[in-house]
Structure 1
Amino acid sequence: MSKNIQAIRGMNDILPEQTPLWRYLEDSVAGLLDGYGYRQIRMPVVEFTDLFKRSIGEVTDIVEKEMYTFADRNGDSLTLRPEGTASCVRAVQEHGLIGGGQPQKLWYIGPMFRHERPQKGRYRQFHQIGVELFNFDGPDVDAELIVLTWRLWGILGIRDAVQLELNSLGSSDDRARYREALVEYLSARFEQLDEDSQRRLSSNPLRILDSKNPDTQALLVDAPKLADYLSEESRVHFAGLKARLDAAHIPYVLNPKLVRGLDYYGKTVFEWTTDKLGAQGTVCAGGRYDGLVEQLGGKPTPAVGFAMGVERLVLLIETLNKVPAELARQVDVYLAAFGEAAELAAVQLSEQLRDAVPGLRLVVNAGAGSFKSQLKKADKSGALFALILGEDELNRQVVGVKPLRGDAEQQTVAWDALSAHLAACLAQA
């Protein structure tokens, strides 16, 4: 007997009992972003590899170790997208959405792919919701991104479990001056650095700041501070962001070691973190990337955005027991019909009810069955009410309405009054 084929490690099925919470989260985000004037964009999951090498940086862990890259039949090097910002930038450039300084407020949702060691909250196929703004250069939109995420945490009931960490990376000139000072400081202590940091010293020294090695962190205590190398323009921008967050009463922690893992960030960077999920503590992160559009062949364009991990947010909602109770019920009404004539009438009745009661979740029994077996299926479905339609009810043009939860009595309702009766019952449930 041949071996059963299973899913690839780190690429998970999202089963029917899990999807209601996913849809709740996705719908909450979509409704919120609609309210802030953002429009959805959808990009392909496969791009030319060079897009990510040029945007993320060839010496980052993502490009060096984690991308799913392959040659297609034409010999082109293609990659399953490891993140969404580069694809979004490519799309808005290709379709002329940001030419002439056109402002764009966009969002997207979909799977991303990284070949990492799978663990709780970190998978090889994972899902992100991303937001990207183009041709806005002030701290006001940086603040808006943070304010709307703060509002989302309130909607989801997780506000008390997350913390905002904030930093400014300054301009490219600021970082160049700081990088020189940091490299000089760390080069004198090269032998004390961990192997990963030694490698990064010549390629991406700022990434050493968020090293997880305790010995390296001890060395960094007396290292030069990026804040001391910020230009006046960068300081004013960061001060403007903090002032707006203070005005919105959003608490934050300044983290001078927050640099983010992608090369394209500058000025504002931020992360929403939690201590409820173990090692995978970041649930949303982003910042400003004013140089990326030009880096990918476009004209200088201010840009800022963030991405949030759907799996981690779902896990956090579950961990905090913030799953809305109504998500447990996927069926409102179960229609049980007995006899061929009643089964035919059930087709007409069910469609009339769906027309008359918007949003009604109605299941019609399939496969016939006895009165007892159909009511057993109705109860197992989780429905609040069973509708009973047999030969007697059909002749009298009535339907039995049997509550399946609680101790209320069954009622007989006229066919033409059924929709109003059901709507009233469901409103009280």
Structure 2
Amino acid sequence: MVGRSQDGHDQCGLCCGADSLNVQCRRCGYPGDIYTDGTCSRCIVRERVEELLARPDGAVSTQLKPLVEALAKADDPWSVLAWTRAQRGARLLARLAAHEHDITHGMLDTLPQDGAVRRVRAVLVATGALPWRNENLAGLSLWFTRTADQLPPHHAQVIKPFAEWQIIRDARRRAARGPYSAGAAHADRLDIKAAIAFMTWLDEHDRTLRSATQHDLDLYLTTHPAKHRTLGAFLRWAVARRLTAGLAPPKKPWARPSRFLTEQEQLDQLRRCLNDTSLPLEARIIGAFVRLYAQQVSRIVEFTTDRYTTQDDRAYFTFAHNPVLLPPTLTTLVERQITAPRLNDILAPASDRKFLFPGRPPSRPRSAASALSLMRANGLPILSARNTAMIEAVGELPPVVVSDLFGVAASTAHRWGHLAAESWAAYLAARQAE
């Protein structure tokens, strides 16, 4: 805009009668945002993307046309132009597009799984060019396939059945029942790594899994205390299949929670989450989910928008198996987040499977690490607040109900129930002594 009319409205050069100040795109007529040669950035970006993704014959494959449209219609075409020029992912995508065959997950799995490959895969999934899959589960399988190739034969004979039929198969079952988060995949990797490390240690001490004694295991756990929790899965599996004799798998200790908030602190923080408009919307919703429903941040970021439902002017959110009633204020926040989520990416979600907290690109959820950083930056602790919410929940509801509504493991809910009972017993004894 170069001028202003008598009624105060901005006007372009043509409307002002100044032909020399014409800044309209010569192709589409859009006023301003000229990129080069009298053409706006949005017209140029389609050309650049088509050139990038074209096959040797100059045409773009049918598979990649949705990607072209998504990039051409991005809210910020300048970011797309910068991406086509400088990003490794763009160059990799150009090489893949030049092939005669369609791009598949299997084709991408054969490449080194670096940031560029992950970004390209995520972009293709976000635009519908590739079908969605659980990347945490697929990444676990792919990681072990490459790890198994480096194992000595006598290790692979034991580790491969354990990893494939115990860890990975159980991971598939959990992924079929509900969210399989990056944290869960990391824990499964640690179980497999612990088994490999223990087998390696046995070799170094001239032992085998069959000949190892309890003394050997105790020595290993003493010198490797960090393996105490992760080695149990492998030893229980080996004992059940009689691959070892005389080894008692270490029990997984339950770390009794020690960090709590007072009732007033919990209430004050919940009020902040529900009413403080200066807080980011995502922080308000995550904070309320933690303080009202004892949810873990790693699970919250995996929630999809279809978990939110309404019935008879009431709103519900399904955390596990059954819908849970939401208070009106939190309902308003969740609806705002679903309607206008924060999108920190050049692409908009193309599929119906939309995350409540979309990441980059929107076909993936926001990472738990960034969500935790957001909460810390806004003075909303997670661990102490969740512990307090859990102790309050099991104090008011049976543990089995808490497990069913909030998605907590039944054994964990019962341990919390015993802890709550012990706390009340100590409280009543102190009051009686007074």
TM-score by length of 2: 0.22
Answer 1 or 2: which has greater strand percent: 1
Higher RCO by CA contacts (8 Å cutoff, separation 6 or greater): 1
Higher helix share: 2
